[in-house]
Amino acid sequence: MQDDLTSFEEELAKYLNVKHVIGVADGTMAILLGLKAMNLTPGGEVILPSHTFVATAAAVKHAGLKPVLADCKEDHLLDHNDIEHRITEKTVAILPVQLNGRTCEMDKIQEIASKNSLKVAEDSCQALGSKFKDQFAGTFGSFGALSFYPSKTLGCFGDGGAIITSDSELYSKIIQLRDHGRGKNGLVTKWGFNSRLDNIQAAILKAKFSNYEFTIQTRRSLAKHYIRLLSDISEIVLPPLDDLYHFDVFQNFEIRAKNRDDLVDYLIENEIGTLKQWGGFCLHQFPDLNMNSDTPFCEELTKNFLMLPLNTTLTMEDIEHVCKTIKNFYKKT
Ligand SMILES: *Cc1c(COP(=O)(O)O)cnc(C)c1O
């Protein structure tokens, strides 16, 4: 916890226009420590989307809370219309996931939360720089969680994460939680964790962050090129492009594709790698974790969702090559 960490935290806080950024070991710990610091009623229910990384639900579980899954909508993000009927007297919070570099319709989610006296916290691990109605992902709820895992839009050379908050009480708790519960002068006042962001990772992140606007613009240009070239293929549903309210950073370019598995094989034959996010599963499909499974849109998603190559080493010609190959596949079938 030297100068590189402090100055990276300050820079990020300035960019996001929040009071505090706290570097931690990884994105999962960011969610866990944030939830711990919120002091929610033990055993309380937290509503989150089924289409997310298991880390979102695991953090809820390890914070002594119960993950309750809700469905997603056309943009693959938490469906605000599927939240209210899942609220019980045990519900304590809503945990939207700002997936694929896009931010949920946070005004609708916050409206539901305040109507039902619930807290909001954000898994914004995929959404640094993403905005809804000109406000950054991660700045809507009590806290936002960031991940700097190498495959994220801002990645370090290992694991890393951060918590975003403007709540000073939450901040002072998390500062202690990430460092063994220690306060100033080594006095330990609570059970804590070893969950610091390494100084060397912070130094790498600081250097990469100086170029972050360019990173975002590159990703957005590549995504727009995909959308231009693929929009006339009826077998494919594309992710939404910005509208009046959304500013996406395209952490991923996740489409829905007819005959997905055959398409994947055909693309591999043509030396194009794709990914099914998290192995092709949504959280309701892990019966051993005992979560609810009534999320039909997510169930459909897992049958046809697919991520096309998108990273800052790609050129417009690469995108054209991928699109041409996809077109050839559907011409044959
Ligand atoms: C990456 C990610 C996380 C966890 O981040 P780690 O740094 O790998 O712990 C949590 N939620 C989502 C949606 C993610 O994409």
Q: Which pLDDT tens digit goes with each residue over 50-66?
A: 999 999 999 999 999 99
Strand partners, 173: none
| Percent of the chain whose pLDDT exceeds 70 | 100
Query: Which residue's entry shows tokens 């690469």?
Result: 318
273, burial (CB in 10 Å: exposed 0-12, middle 13-18, buried 19+):
exposed
φ and ψ of 145, to 5 deg: -110, 135
For residue 314, how far is the Cα from the chain centroid?
A: 22
C-alpha–C-alpha distance, residues 59 and 55, integer Å = 6
> What's the confidence (pLDDT) of residue 286?
98
How many Cβ atoms from other residues are within 10 Å of residue 208's Cβ? 16
pLDDT beyond 90 at 24: yes
pLDDT band at 332 (very low <50, low <70, confident <90, very high): confident
Tell me, in angstroms, the distance from the centre of ligand 1 to residue 319's CA. Answer: 26
C-alpha–C-alpha distance, residues 310 and 312, integer Å = 7
pLDDT band at 241 (very low <50, low <70, confident <90, very high): confident
C-alpha–C-alpha distance, residues 237 and 301, integer Å = 11
The string of pLDDT tens digits covering residues 153-210 is: 999 999 999 999 999 999 999 999 999 999 888 999 999 999 999 999 999 999 999 9
Question: Which of 128-149 are b and which e, b meaning 16 or more Cβ less than 10 Å from the residue's Cβ?
Answer: bbbbbeebbbbbbbbbbbbbbb
Structure tokens at 3: 């100068």
Cβ pair 130, 102 in contact under 8 A: yes
Q: Does 3.30.750.210 match the CATH number of domain 212-332?
A: no
Residue 161 Cα: closest atom of ligand 1: 7
Tell me, in angstroms, the distance from the centre of ligand 1 to residue 181's CA. Answer: 24
Nearest residue to 292 via CA among 89, 96, 67: 67
Pocket of ligand 1, beta carbon within 6 A: 26-28, 52-53, 55-56, 97, 123, 125-126, 147, 149, 159, 161
Beta strand extents in the chain (DSSP E only): 20-24, 45-49, 66-70, 91-94, 119-120, 122-123, 131-132, 135-136, 144-147, 161-165, 236-237, 246-247, 253-257, 305-308
What is 224-276 written as a DSSP string? HHHHHHHTT-TTEEPPPPP-SSEE---S-EEEEETTHHHHHHHHHHTT---B-
Nearest residue to 292 via CA among 128, 68, 37: 68
Tell me the three state secondary structure of residue 172.
Answer: helix
pLDDT band at 273 (very low <50, low <70, confident <90, very high): very high
Domain with CATH 3.40.640.10 in the chain: 3-209
How many Cβ atoms from other residues are within 10 Å of residue 297's Cβ? 17
Residue 29 Cα: closest atom of ligand 1: 9
> What's the confidence (pLDDT) of residue 243?
72
> What's the confidence (pLDDT) of residue 184?
81
C-alpha–C-alpha distance, residues 258 and 243, integer Å = 26
Tell me, in angstroms, the distance from the centre of ligand 1 to residue 31's CA. Answer: 9
> What's the confidence (pLDDT) of residue 193?
97
> What's the confidence (pLDDT) of residue 185?
87
| Percent of the chain whose pLDDT exceeds 90 | 96
Question: What fold does the segment set 3-209 form as a domain?
Answer: Aspartate Aminotransferase; domain 2 (3.40.640)
The string of pLDDT tens digits covering residues 300-327 is: 999 999 999 999 999 999 999 999 999 9
Domain with CATH 3.90.1150.10 in the chain: 212-332
Nearest residue to 158 via CA among 209, 100, 199: 199
Tell me, in angstroms, the distance from the centre of ligand 1 to residue 28's CA. Answer: 6
Instruction: Please report, as a single letter, which amino acid is at residue 319.
Output: I
Q: Which of 72, 125, 128, 278 to mutate to test the pocket of ligand 1 (most atoms within 8 A of CB)?
A: 125
With both helix axes pointing from N to C terminus, report the angle between 316-332 and 260-269 in degrees, rounded to the nearest 10.
120
> What's the confidence (pLDDT) of residue 333?
76
Tell me the pLDDT of the chain averaged across its residues. Answer: 97
Dihedral sign, Cα of residue 80, residue 81, residue 84, residue 90: negative
Cβ pair 30, 142 in contact under 8 A: no
Tell me the three state secondary structure of residue 21.
Answer: strand
The string of pLDDT tens digits covering residues 146-161 is: 999 999 999 999 999 9
Nearest residue to 227 via CA among 132, 89, 322, 119: 322
> What's the confidence (pLDDT) of residue 183?
86
Residue 52 Cα: closest atom of ligand 1: 13
Residue 126 Cα: closest atom of ligand 1: 15
Tell me, in angstroms, the distance from the centre of ligand 1 to residue 151's CA. Answer: 10
Tell me, in angstroms, the distance from the centre of ligand 1 to residue 97's CA. Answer: 10
pLDDT band at 244 (very low <50, low <70, confident <90, very high): confident
